[in-house]
Amino acid sequence: MVTTNAPAVLVEGLHKRYGEKRAVDGLDLRVEHGEIVAVLGPNGAGKTTTVETLEGFRRADAGHVRVLGEDPARAGRAWRARLGVVLQDNRDLAEATVREIVHHVAGFYPAPRDPEGVIDAVGLRDRAGTRTRALSGGQRRRLDVALGVVGDPELLFLDEPTTGFDPQARHEFWELVESLRDEGTTILLTTHYLEEAERLADRVVVVAHGRVVAEGAPADLGGRRARRARVRWTVDGVTHDEATDTPTALVARLAAELGRTDGEVPGLQVLRPTLEDVYLGLIGQDAAADAAGEETAR
């Protein structure tokens, strides 16, 4: 892996219009080498346009963009060989088998990973001889991931990578992503699964209306760590609920008041704001409704 003092991705004041629509409106983004950064946001927030600009598929109207030290709009073949891209949807080479297409794509790169090892890593060993058109949706998604990582990229773009995965496959994929990060791969992830962002990301960037509205570690996003806890407990079948900055002290007081010598409080729950709570608050009610509708439709 090539490392420099410059970040892997640097975006300053990115703008992109489609007619009268401002898809990206002054967006700033920085990704350091070796990081996993998750970009969250509702449909239409500007995520896809931003990522496609970083990948070199779109040209910015204005702003400064550098990816692995180069302008994606002008970078050449050697630069592209340092990237891995997992698109939302890819239907090429439907008649090729899994083994054929992974080996074929590996041949485009100067120092690829072992194609057979990649097939194992994405859980397609038993489908290696199957034609792509015969794969299920989840299996096709695993193949997309295999094609994105087989070149052993320095920087990997993952666009909704686990759509169509069952829970077991999703967790296996997370382990693969974590192993890539451990090997030094920088990863930019877009996802609607907040659990995925919380599990994988070193930092989360929330985009709304073409701008970054918040960023930080998942535990700290939007002041999450500092937000008040809610303590719930039950007395004689009645549930009580209290917000507090000192949940430990409140629980100790309740145990004393309830005369519990074992220190237990009936039905006790101590609740902190989830990443979902913070995210929905950041993107606003209208965008939250759009996001919820999309999750329902999945």
Query: What is the residue type of 112?
Result: P
Asked if 190 and 97 sit in the same domain, the reply is yes
- Write out pLDDT tens, residues 217-263: 888 886 666 577 888 999 888 999 888 878 888 888 888 888 766 66
The length of the chain is: 298
Domain that holds residue 254: 228-271
Measure the CA–CA gap between 289 and 227, rounded to whole angstroms.
Answer: 23
Tens digits of residue pLDDT in 151-200: 999 999 998 888 777 788 788 888 888 988 998 899 999 988 889 999 99
Q: Is residue 117 part of a domain?
A: yes
Task: Judge whether 286 lies within some domain.
Answer: no
What is the rounded CA–CA span in Å between residue 283 and residue 285? 7
Q: Same domain, yes or no, for 192 and 246?
A: no
Rounded to whole angstroms, what are the CA distances from 126 to 63, 90, 120, 130, 296? 47, 21, 9, 9, 32
Q: Are residues 131 and 257 in the same domain?
A: no
pLDDT 10s digits, 75-128: 999 999 999 998 766 666 778 999 999 999 999 999 999 999 999 988 899 999
H or E stretch at 131: none
135 belongs to a structural domain: yes
Residues of the chain with pLDDT > 90, as a percent, come to 47
Task: Report the DSSP pairing between strands 203-208 and 186-190.
Answer: unpaired
Tell me: do 177 and 246 sit in the same domain: no
In DSSP notation, 206-256 reads EEETTEEEEEE-TTTGGGGGGSPEEEEEEETTEEEEEEES-HHHHHHHHHH
127 and 197 share a domain?
yes
**Count of domains forming the chain:** 2
In this structure, the answer to whether residues 124 and 247 fall within a common structural domain is no
Please indicate, yes or no, whether residues 181 and 112 belong to a single structural domain of this protein.
yes
19: in domain: yes
Question: 150: domain CATH number?
Answer: 3.40.50.300
- In this structure, the answer to whether residues 132 and 215 fall within a common structural domain is yes
Task: Tell whether 280 is covered by a domain.
Answer: no
CA–CA distance, 33 with 27 (Å, rounded to integer):
20
The answer to pTM > 0.75 is yes
User: Is residue 295, in this structure, part of any structural domain at all?
Assistant: no
Beta strands in 41-197 (DSSP E): 62-67, 83-86, 155-159, 186-190
Contacts for 181 with CB less than 8 Å, ≥ 6 apart: 34, 36, 187
Q: Are residues 151 and 207 in the same domain?
A: yes
Instruction: Say if residue 209 is in the same domain as residue 233.
Output: no
Is residue 282 in a domain?
no
